Amino acid sequence: MKNTPGKILVTGGAGFVGSHLCKYFLDSGHEVICLDDLSTGRKENIAPLLDNKNFEFVNQDITKPLEISKKIGQIFNFACPASPPRYQKDPAQTLKTSILGSLNILELARKNNARILQASTSEVYGDPRVHPQPETYWGNVNPIGVRSCYDEGKRAAETLFFDYNRKYGTDIRVVRIFNTYGPNMDPGDGRVVSNFITQALENKDLTIYGDGSQTRSFQYIDDLVGGIVKMMDNKNNFSGPVNLGTPDEFSVKELAEIILEMIPESKSEIVYRDLPQDDPKQRKPDISLAKKELGWEPKVKLEEGLKKTIEYFRKAINE
């Protein structure tokens, strides 16, 4: 991360990805403001950072007007629940976070003349009919389904970012993040990696929805952070959107089997339940654009990342 005038603001900074960004920037010598209302973010994710003189925590809902008087140089907008159980719990609030939150944070960027990065998602592609998914694919999204509050909210946020860029010249970056895992995930957040690891460690049956043939691409958090930093600092004024994910594709059943092999003491078995509405059958990024524009591709293999994640979950569950 290059030197930037002003502080770095990370919204959703107590969340899974946001907390890793806060730590990265602090370790790089930057002053960081972490804004989070702790609705899904966790104070324990940022607990090791609180004593750092360059770190400030602001407990606030991003949908409310933002009053930050300090000069902000760069903004990373990661404020939004990302797991289906969490974003479906209060769908109207999820939509407000993506839309009103984006408006508030874009206005703050305008006021500070700050560069701003939006954490978008592979969910903008919905249940894709194109595989793998390039950034030029417009998606196949159900606008009235149970996942729509997140999918359409993120699509609307992208619209706002590019509209601000066209109308006001706001310096934007947009990344579309595919399935990511690693330490600081909430063991109870309902995502497939955290579900399977928690269930295996607690000797509960691993729950697969559908027949397990649906595929996902799982990237380790360190790879994602590296891609985000490269995107924010790219010298070509490349705004995106750009896919950040791994092209290594696994079925959900394969993931369950790998995790059980890596936790050999587990007495868990695999059980099957009905597939939720609009659950994507395939999800895999085309990362040609990230390679070309950013010189980025993920390095961490699934077993290597899962080993570190399982270690984290063992400690988290025992505490």
pLDDT at residue 234 in the model: 93
Residue 78 belongs to what domain range? 7-180+220-246+284-299
CB atoms within 10 A of CB 318: 7
Give the residue with greater pLDDT, 132 vs 87: 132
Check pLDDT > 70 for residue 2.
no
User: Residue 310 falls within a domain, yes or no?
Assistant: no
- On the question of pLDDT at 88 being above 90, the answer is no
- pLDDT at position 85 is 76
For residue 192, is pLDDT > 70? yes
Q: What's the CA gap between 23 and 290, in Å, rounded?
A: 24
Q: What is the mean pLDDT of residues 221-245?
A: 96
Question: Is the residue at 192 inside a domain?
Answer: no
26 in a domain, yes or no?
yes
Residue pLDDT, tens place only, 26-56: 999 999 999 999 999 999 999 999 999 999 9
Q: Looking at 150, 164, 181, 220, which residue is catalytic?
A: 150
Is the residue at 195 inside a domain? Answer: no
At 58 the pLDDT is: 96
Q: Give me the mean pLDDT over the 190-214 stretch.
A: 92
Closest to 178 (Cα-Cα) out of 262, 248, 233, 231: 248
Which of the pair, 2 or 227, is modelled with greater confidence? Answer: 227
CA-nearest of 151, 98, 111 to 280 is 151
Give the per-residue pLDDT at 274. 87
Q: Is residue 36 part of a domain?
A: yes
74 located within any domain: yes
Is the bond leading into 280 cis (omega within 30 degrees of zero)?
Answer: no
pLDDT of 128 higher than 80: yes
Instruction: Mention every residue, 6+ apart, whose C-beta is less than 8 A from residue 41.
Output: 12, 13, 14, 15, 18, 19
What is the overall mean pLDDT for the chain? 93
Residue position matching structure tokens 């140089």 = 73
Q: Do the domain assignments include residue 94?
A: yes
Side-chain half-sphere CA neighbours of 162 within 13 A: 12
Predicted model pTM: 0.94
CA 143 to centroid of chain Cα atoms? 21
Percent of the chain exceeding pLDDT 70 equals 97
- Indicate the residue type of 216: R
Count structural domains, the chain. Answer: 1
Q: What is the mean pLDDT of residues 128-143?
A: 93
The reported pLDDT for the residue numbered 319 is 72
Q: What is the pLDDT of residue 5?
A: 64
Q: Is 150 an active-site residue?
A: yes
Residue 12 lies in a domain: yes
pLDDT at 291: 97
Residue 100 pLDDT > 60: yes
Please tell me the predicted confidence (pLDDT) of residue 206: 94
- 4 pLDDT band, cuts 50/70/90, is low
Identify which of 116, 140, 113 has the alpha carbon closest to the alpha carbon of residue 126: 140
CATH code of residue 229: 3.40.50.720
